[in-house]
Amino acid sequence: MDIKIGDHKFSFMPLTYDVPDRDLNLFLEQQDKRVIQKWYCDGTPSAPSPLIQKFKAETNLLLYAPLDPGVSPIDFDYKPSLRQKKEVARMHARIIKGTGLIDRTLLNALLQKVFGGAEVVIPWADIFAKFGTGHSVQVVSRVVYRRFAMMDLKSKEGRVILSVPIGGRHFVLKTAECTEDGPRLLTQFGVWSDATFEGPFTLPDTESARALRQEWSKWRKSEIKKQQKALKKETERLKEEEKALKEEGE
């Protein structure tokens, strides 16, 4: 299947990253948008005030430049060299030219128009229903880039990964307990307990975003069938081995 971004046409396939990949992990960390907020039980104004109710996550591109000779793709301490940075800049320039645009700002705007972004809603009502208003809480809202949102674009300009956000996750840190004598800190770092909330969120609803999800869904179903077949085969092998061991022990 092909995807058109401006005047540039890309072929793509769903991406899995089971094997550690330094560049991809760094890319995900950079995209990992976080919104940190605090609510206080002692009457101190929340930070920020008022509390943020929702935020938008954008589509992003990762451009791969060849690693320097001798560098392992799983060397997470390695920093991109000047040569790699220049190569990524050249790739950006070639892609921008191919899309008929003039700079990265316009390319990013076009990506958001073509693929959209996820609107992540912070479920304050659910958070307070669980923790009550008798605790100070810190909420870290984070965009989740799931596997099927990652697409490997087959570009003549080089290896390009497209990441379309499709959800959000919220982690709640209970920091203090409200008492008559004022807030009592629970621990130095707070307490994590049953404090993960999913969504709600709005999926990107552009034609291209829907096409990506449909393509991934077909691919993932075929992968599941392959895994089920392999598991069945392995189960049968283990049963035969177990049977042979029993016969040997008799």
User: Looking at per-residue confidence, does 234 or 8 come out higher?
Assistant: 234
Structure confidence at residue 151 as a pLDDT band (50, 70, 90): confident
User: Before 73, cis peptide (omega within 30)?
Assistant: no
Mean pLDDT throughout 13-23?
70
Predicted structure pTM score: 0.67
pLDDT tens readout for residues 176-192: 888 877 777 776 555 55
User: Looking at per-residue confidence, does 134 or 19 come out higher?
Assistant: 134
Question: CA torsion, points 103, 10, 8, 116, in degrees to nearest 10?
Answer: -60
Please report which helix (H) or strand (E) contains residue 111, including its range.
helix 104-115
Q: Look at residue 209 and tell me whether its pLDDT is greater than 90.
A: no
Mean per-residue pLDDT of the chain? 81
How far is residue 12 from each of residues 98, 119, 156, 163, measured CA to CA in Å? Answer: 17, 25, 12, 12
